């Protein structure tokens, strides 16, 4: 047996012991939940339960050696190439296990960023904590005037003896409502050029002066928050990287964020497309040449995105970043939007007015959610600029 086959067998044995096989989803019109949301949107006790379940499952994986498959062995990872992570994910997809969405930012963004930028102690405490299912992390980067133009951020960090004092406002912070720690960017030198005066910190979310306020979305849920920092004391040993080196930390964090954003969702688009085909038939439009053409066009787009992602995943670690990742995320965001638009065309007014009919009005959530996907992890325009400059060699956009 090859090393991969041995690993796959080991993963299957682990999952057989700890989870039940997942019954294949049979999409039957009118039966079961419609589930056409793009962003996860539970609140209150249900949300708390999901967080606990996610942490428990991650802890189980960690104890069995599947919690950090590509992680550095000196920190408890397996040190295996990304192909092994893929093998594990494809085996796990066949089992009914807890949804790890509440941990996603820690596992895919903050954890990897700390491995590159953090101190040994920070990696042991936070990156390991995240992978062991003990800690939930969030990313405190965006501000009201600093999204695409992140270097414009205004949150200040002022040195005060052995601590820093952070004040400012963050926004669109996913999962802040239940996070234990946030990776924050703050301005430490207001006189330095915009990109140079920034520093990164790990902010314990239960610190005095941290206030988290949920933002109600178009879709009704509240997956994001405003986070207010009012003279929050942060120990100097929670500074990530050198003072003034925050931009470097931010860039390496954002590159892992883009990796994570594109990775998730081919199951989602595939399911959406299957529902859409059924919808066309139910609406009596299955034979309409224009509808058939729209569906064929969508199918081709989804296949292009799937093959593109397979190619990225086959690349060696560290290759296939930058423009290929930007394309992956653009394709996905565009496909989510295109699926929603075809649904809206098929449904007409039913997408905006709830008639109670199964599988119709629920598409409004898809349409509204798709818009968010085009922003988070880098907007379409920013990603296109990256492709234009780095892949096509076009002149740099004026700043």
Ligand X SMILES: Cc1cc2nc3c(=O)[nH]c(=O)nc-3n(C[C@H](O)[C@H](O)[C@H](O)COP(=O)(O)OP(=O)(O)OC[C@H]3O[C@@H](n4cnc5c(N)ncnc54)[C@H](O)[C@@H]3O)c2cc1C
At closest approach, how far in Å is the CB of 150 from ligand X? 7
At closest approach, how far in Å is the CB of 247 from ligand X? 15
d(CA 115, CA 117): 6
At closest approach, how far in Å is the CB of 97 from ligand X? 24
Token pair of 36 as six digits: 């056409």
Contact by Cβ (8 Å): 160, 202:
no
**Residue 230 per-residue DSSP state:** E
Measured from the Cβ of residue 267, the count of other Cβ atoms closer than 10 Å reads: 10
At closest approach, how far in Å is the CB of 276 from ligand X? 22
* Active-site residue, 41 included: no
For binding to ligand X (CB under 6 A), which residues are involved?
105, 138-142, 147-148, 172-174, 372, 375-376, 379, 381-382, 385
Give me the torsion for CA of 232, 122, 65, 175, rounded to 10°.
Answer: 20
Which residue, 124 or 154, is less far from ligand X as judged by CB?
154
d(CA 378, CA 330): 9
> In terms of C-beta density within 10 A (0-12 exposed, 13-18 middle, 19 or more buried), how is residue 83 classed?
middle
Contact by Cβ (8 Å): 141, 117:
no
Given the residues 5, 92, 257, 381, the one annotated as active site? 257
Which residues are 21's β-sheet partners? 95
At closest approach, how far in Å is the CB of 387 from ligand X? 13
C-beta contacts of 81-88 below 8 A and 24+ residues apart: 81/316, 81/317, 82/313, 82/317, 83/4, 83/313, 83/314, 84/4, 84/7, 86/313, 87/4, 87/7, 87/8, 87/11, 88/7, 88/11
Which residue, 19 or 387, is less far from ligand X as judged by CB?
387
The catalytic residues are 257
């Amino acid at each position: 047996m090859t090393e991969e086959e041995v690993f796959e067998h080991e993963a299957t044995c682990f999952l057989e012991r700890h989870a039940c096989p997942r019954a294949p989803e049979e999409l039957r019109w009118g039966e079961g939940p419609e589930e056409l949301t793009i962003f996860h949107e539970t609140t209150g006790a249900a949300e708390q339960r999901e967080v606990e379940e996610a942490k428990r499952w991650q802890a189980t994986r960690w104890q069995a050696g599947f919690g950090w498959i590509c992680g550095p062995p000196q920190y408890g990872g397996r040190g295996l190439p990304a192909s092994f992570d893929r093998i594990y994910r494809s085996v796990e997809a066949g089992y009914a296990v807890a949804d790890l969405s509440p941990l996603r930012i820690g596992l895919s963004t903050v954890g990897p960023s700390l491995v590159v930028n953090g101190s040994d102690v920070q990696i042991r405490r936070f990156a390991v904590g995240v992978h062991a299912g003990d800690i939930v992390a969030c990313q405190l980067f965006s501000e009201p005037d600093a999204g695409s133009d992140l270097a414009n951020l205004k949150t200040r960090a002022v040195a005060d003896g052995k601590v820093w004092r952070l004040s400012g406002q963050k926004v669109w912070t996913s999962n802040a409502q239940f996070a234990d720690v946030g990776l924050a960017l703050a301005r430490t030198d207001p006189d330095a050029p915009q990109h140079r005066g920034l520093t990164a910190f790990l902010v314990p979310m239960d610190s005095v002066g941290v206030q988290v306020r949920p933002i109600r979305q178009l879709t009704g849920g509240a997956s994001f928050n405003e986070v207010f920092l009012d003279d929050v004391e942060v120990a100097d040993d929670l500074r990530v990287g050198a003072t003034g080196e925050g931009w470097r930390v931010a860039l390496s964090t954002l590159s892992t964020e883009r990796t994570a954003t594109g990775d998730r969702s081919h199951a989602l688009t595939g399911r959406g497309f299957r529902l859409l085909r059924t919808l066309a038939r139910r609406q009596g439009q299955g034979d309409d040449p224009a509808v058939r053409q729209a569906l064929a066009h969508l199918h081709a787009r989804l296949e292009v995105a799937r093959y593109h992602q397979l190619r990225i995943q086959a690349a060696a670690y560290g290759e296939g970043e930058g423009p290929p990742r930007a394309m992956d995320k653009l394709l996905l965001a565009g496909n989510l939007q295109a699926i929603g638009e075809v649904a809206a065309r098929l449904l007409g007014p039913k997408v905006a007015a709830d008639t109670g009919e199964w599988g119709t009005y629920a598409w409004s959530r898809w349409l509204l959610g798709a818009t968010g996907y085009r922003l988070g992890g880098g907007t379409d325009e920013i990603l296109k600029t990256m492709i234009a400059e780095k892949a096509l060699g076009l002149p740099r956009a004026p700043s």
